[in-house]
Chains A and B, each alone.
Chain A
């Protein structure tokens, strides 16, 4: 019930490509879905987040698509750059009620080739 499944485990694209990372969740009580970017030796940095009342959210080159009925959401990176090479984590949590407890996906290691 608490699991968030993320795929693929790794992804290699050419510069300018559009990598897509997918996540699926089970717990229908989740209502806040952030994405984090992590570089080696650093902590995860919040990229973008979405709530299930919208189907898409864009911030710069990053777009989240959300499908509530399928319990799936995905991250698209437009015009990807070598500097986007990092590990990306999706996460989910309940935004109300009890305290914050992020449930993370297993991570996707993205490599953008120059």
Chain B
């Protein structure tokens, strides 16, 4: 069974630009969560999608948004990039969200210059 696939693996963007990251969950998994990992703040929850609906959202500004498609694939968008948005963005999939294990992808390393 294929794992969680995140694309691209690396991105370099300029301040003020926007970026879209993609996540393909494990086949059959309907819940996709996004996390930001930085050396200073650690792993922080961004949001979770289930059956194309955002069910939960972390404490991030509105520049961070996401969506989920009918095949459970998810995208995360960050607009008006800031230097502080440089981080490893991780996607995790689980069968239905609550009560089941979450499996992470390798992440997308975003560098904002």
Instruction: List chain A positions with a Cβ less than 8 A from chain B.
Output: 32, 34, 36, 41-46, 49, 89, 91, 94-107
Which B residues lie at the A interface, using CB under 8 A?
4, 6, 31, 33, 35, 42-45, 48, 50, 55-56, 58, 90, 92, 94, 97-107
Asked whether, in the complex, the Cβ of B43 is within 8 Å of the Cβ of A104, the reply is yes
Question: CA of A99 to CA of B50 in the docked complex: distance in angstroms?
Answer: 8
Q: Is the CB of A101 within 8 A of B43?
A: no
Interface-centre pick from B42, B44, B55, B94 (highest chain A CB count, 10 A): B42
Q: Could you tell me the dominant secondary structure of chain A's interface residues?
A: loop
CB < 8 Å: which of B48, B56, B90 contacts A43? Answer: B90
Min Cβ gap A90→B in Å is 11
For the complex, what is the distance from the CA of A106 to the CA of B41, rounded to whole Å? 8
